[in-house]
Amino acid sequence: MGLTVKATIPSNLPDSTVLDDAFIDEAVDDITDESELSAGFDAQPIIFKLDDDVCGDRLDKVIAKLIPQFSRSRLQQWIASGHVTVDGVPSKGKMTVLGGEEVIVYPQPAPEDTAFLPEKMDLDIVFEDKHIMVINKPAGLVVHPAAGNWSGTLLNGLLDHFPAISGVPRAGIVHRLDKDTSGLMVVAKSLEAQTDLVRQLQARTVKREYLALVWGKPNLTGTIDLPMARHPRDRIKMAVSESPSAKPAVTHFQRLAAGVLDGKAVTLVACQLETGRTHQIRVHMAHLGFPLVGDVLYGKQHLASYFNRQALQARRLGLQHPKTQKDCLWQVELAQDIADLLVSAGINYDAIEK
């Protein structure tokens, strides 16, 4: 196949840039599978004239061979949306080319190409200095851009609030909360602070305490020391696993109060994490037979309608300040929806706190 280039393909087309995974250890493995993409999208039209030896071929196949740096599915999307012209006319991918035509491809950004951009966001900042931020994340807010959530994430809000954080890997994020889990997170504002926080997570000295409302009545106290990995059949889920790829996962829990929802026993438990596996508390408690109220992924489907998210909140966060090395502890009030849920279950949370 021949090609006469009239305008060169730009060298600054976006591609994936994977951060150094050695920097983020297993303590924060729930964010190491994601790639950061270059912010912004700046691609000029790609113009070429077809040679005669492509006569009789389909347009989409010809283009796919000429500019292989783009996936065929992406090229087909551009063709379907009119961003590929043949002799100045938008054309269909199945059209037959004769040779000699001028083809212009106008590259269009995919959602992930603009994922790492600042966005105005009303962040609930519990603490902030030159080195770290502690944020009370609301339920419904995704922490890090990924498929299906390329904008409106906490990372986007951090980039707007403190633009210099763009120079820190993953905008300073060192651990995550699930979209529908509320509560405390720490974010590093410098590479030095991030390195120190990651080391604390690796050493399991960061204190993370969660409140969870579960179905049933577990023991007064317990430790769940069961490794976890991706579910073998459902890639969206995690599972307790003995596979070689499984990683250690340790959850301590304590029963705080018992209640009743619609005639069914529920229990408020405090959970402390030693490790930070994806969905760890949800998987561990469900494995014991005590799924979280509202958890549609790991809970019993006929009970999921009692709450519109998993009843889980990161209540307390303790760590050493990465600069001063002083011990710090933060605690937040119950999210209003969880507070209302406890009232419905007949649990007096204020009495527990006293």
Q: For the domain that residue 346 is a member of, what is the CATH number?
A: 3.30.2350.10
Q: Are residues 241 and 342 in the same domain?
A: yes
**Alpha-carbon distance 138 to 159, whole Å?**
18
Please indicate, yes or no, whether residues 261 and 286 belong to a single structural domain of this protein.
yes
Per the structure, the complete domain to which residue 82 belongs is given by: 3-25+41-110
How far is the CA of 348 from the CAs of 32, 220, 259, 341, 344, in angstroms? 39, 18, 9, 11, 10
Q: Please determine, for residue 2, whether its predicted confidence score (pLDDT) is greater than 90.
A: no
* 178 belongs to the catalytic site: yes
Do 71 and 148 lie in one domain? The reply is no
Q: What is the pTM of this model?
A: 0.72
Which residue among the candidates 113, 178, 180, 196 is catalytic per the annotation? 178
Q: Round to whole Å and give the CA distance between 188 and 320.
A: 13
Nearest to 248, CA basis, from 225, 224, 279, 230: 225
Last residue of one domain, picked from the residues 91, 110, 129: 110
Determine how β-strand 132-137 pairs with β-strand 125-128: antiparallel
The number of folded domains in the chain is: 3
In residues, how long is the chain?
A: 354
Q: Name the pLDDT band for 146 (thresholds 50, 70, 90).
A: confident
If asked whether residues 83 and 139 sit together in one domain, one would say no
In whole angstroms, give the CA distance from residue 298 to residue 38.
35
- Over residues 192-222, the pLDDT tens digits come to 999 999 999 999 999 999 999 999 999 999 9
Check whether residue 277 and residue 313 sit in a common domain. yes
